[in-house]
Amino acid sequence: MIIAGNWKMFRGPDPHALAGLDAIVAPPFTRLRDCVDAGLTTYAQNVHWEADGAYTGEISAPMLLELGVTGSLVGHSERRLYFGETDETVALRTRAALDAGLRVIACVGETLAEREANETEDVLRRQLSVLEPHPHLVLAYEPVWAIGTGLTATPEMAQDAHAFIKSLLDAPVLYGGSVKPDNAAGLLAQPDVDGALVGGASLDVDSFKAICQTAARIRS
Ligand code: 13P
């Protein structure tokens, strides 16, 4: 079971308050060093496919590794929605990060319009078609309509999507989208839900710890 906290563009909690927790944190770039120094398994939120070059605003895998960072998120829906991330750039980032020795959590998921048009499986198939299994690749199913909205996929919806994803690509699949202490148990109990990618609730130490404790309880 993998629990990861995506702090997005929030400063986030004091990393020392999370010391010893069996979880991944993905803080903004400016807090990576603090998280590494606090002994946390630390991921970036994005990584470029070149080792260096004229790519203003980007960061490379060797630079992250030099800091002691373990992995990176790739293809989060907010990157796809607001910053022009495409399936092709997701593939480039993922491959380069894995080749360089980073772990990757690659994010997939449909929008509300796509779900309502019955296109969820087509979207997932398209997003996954550019990825290949790798021992250090984990996927996150994050239905866009459930991110930051308070709406959560039901455990059954998550299970269905995860089983479909695993039928296409052999990798652990985390669920993301309004995971909170009070809904984590139902989601994490599903056989094909291998963990959670937590946004808002990861900014609150008590909430994040409670989700980690739920995961530990379900695993044992
Ligand atoms: P929320 O948990 O705030 O809905 O965010 C989910 C997410 O996008 C994690 O990457």
> Which residue ranges have their beta carbon within 6 Å of ligand 1?
6, 76, 142, 147-148, 176-179, 197-201
Give CA angle at 95 (158, 139), nearest 5°. Answer: 10
Domains of the chain (ranges, CATH numbers): 2-70+100-219 (3.20.20.70)
Residue 71, pLDDT > 90, answer yes
Residue 70, pLDDT > 80, answer yes
**Protein residue whose Cα sits closest to atom 7 of ligand 1:** 199
> How far, CA to CA in Å, does 42 sit from each of 14, 37, 46, 86?
14, 10, 12, 25
Residue 144 is given by DSSP the state: G
Q: Find the catalytic residue in 48, 110, 142, 162.
A: 142
- What pLDDT, in 10s, does the model give residues 121-146? 999 999 999 999 999 999 999 999 99
Q: Cα(147) to centroid of ligand 1, in Å?
A: 5
**pLDDT score of 148:** 85
In this structure, the strands spanning 173-176 and 137-141 are parallel
Q: Cα(174) to centroid of ligand 1, in Å?
A: 12
Beta pairing partners, 42:
25
- What pLDDT, in 10s, does the model give residues 184-202? 999 999 999 999 999 999 9
Q: Find the catalytic residue in 76, 78, 114, 162.
A: 76
The structure tokens listed for 203 are 């900014």
Give the number of the atom of ligand 1 that is nearest the alpha carbon of residue 73.
10
76 assigned to active site: yes
**pLDDT score of 149:** 87
Cβ atoms of 110 and 75 within 8 Å: the answer is no
The span from the first CA to the last CA of the chain, in angstroms, equals 10
Q: Cα(54) to centroid of ligand 1, in Å?
A: 31
**pLDDT score of 76:** 98
Exposure of 33 by Cβ count < 10 A (0-12 exposed, 13-18 middle, 19+ buried)? Answer: middle
**177 alpha carbon, distance to own chain's centre:** 10
| pLDDT mean over 202-212 | 98
Residue 220, pLDDT > 80, answer no
- What pLDDT, in 10s, does the model give residues 136-176? 999 999 999 998 888 888 999 999 999 999 999 999 999 99
Residues of the chain above pLDDT 90, percent: 95
Task: Count CB-CB contacts under 10 A for residue 19.
Answer: 10
Q: Cα(197) to centroid of ligand 1, in Å?
A: 7
Give the pLDDT band of residue 217 (cuts 50, 70, 90).
very high
162 assigned to active site: no
**pLDDT score of 219:** 78
